[in-house]
């Protein structure tokens, strides 16, 4: 079974994504997992204040790719997830913290 995980390219996001990838592979060794890096508005625009860019500055592009079936899941840092999100999406899992 193939799963495409979408994530930002930051070191933190990649570390979290590989952690989730390993968790999934430990549950099912037959998974073929691809990681797809997605540049978000917050990644592309380093000059504008985040407060001026609006909600979902680090999540919106990943949400769109998920809704368009370009990725199967997205790994976000919870600090980046807006308190209001697309009603067609859900937070389906949050891994246990290691520390």
Q: Which CATH number goes with the domain that contains 54?
A: 3.40.190.10
The answer to the question of residue 22 being in a domain is yes
Strands 32-37 and 2-7: parallel
> Which tokens in the block code for residue 36?
């797809």
Q: Could you tell me the CA-to-CA distances from 93 to 24, 45, 76 in Å, in that order? A: 12, 29, 11
The answer to the question of residue 65 being in a domain is yes
Supply the residues annotated as catalytic. Answer: 80
Q: What is the pLDDT of residues 14-66, one digit of tens each?
A: 999 999 999 999 999 999 999 999 999 888 888 888 788 888 888 999 999 99
The answer to the question of residue 40 being in a domain is yes
The answer to the question of residue 7 being in a domain is yes
The answer to the question of residue 67 being in a domain is yes
The pTM assigned to this predicted structure is 0.89
Domains in the chain, number = 1
The answer to the question of residue 91 being in a domain is no
């Amino acid at each position: 079974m193939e799963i495409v995980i979408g994530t930002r390219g930051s070191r933190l996001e990649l570390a979290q994504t590989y952690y989730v990838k390993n968790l999934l592979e430990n549950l099912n060794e037959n998974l073929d997992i691809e990681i797809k890096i997605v540049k978000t508005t917050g990644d592309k625009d380093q000059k504008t204040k985040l407060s001026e860019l609006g909600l979902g500055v680090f999540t919106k592009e990943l949400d769109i790719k998920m809704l368009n079936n370009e990725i199967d899941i997205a790994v976000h840092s919870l600090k980046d997830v807006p308190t209001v999100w697309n009603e067609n999406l859900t937070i389906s899992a949050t891994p246990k913290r290691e520390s």
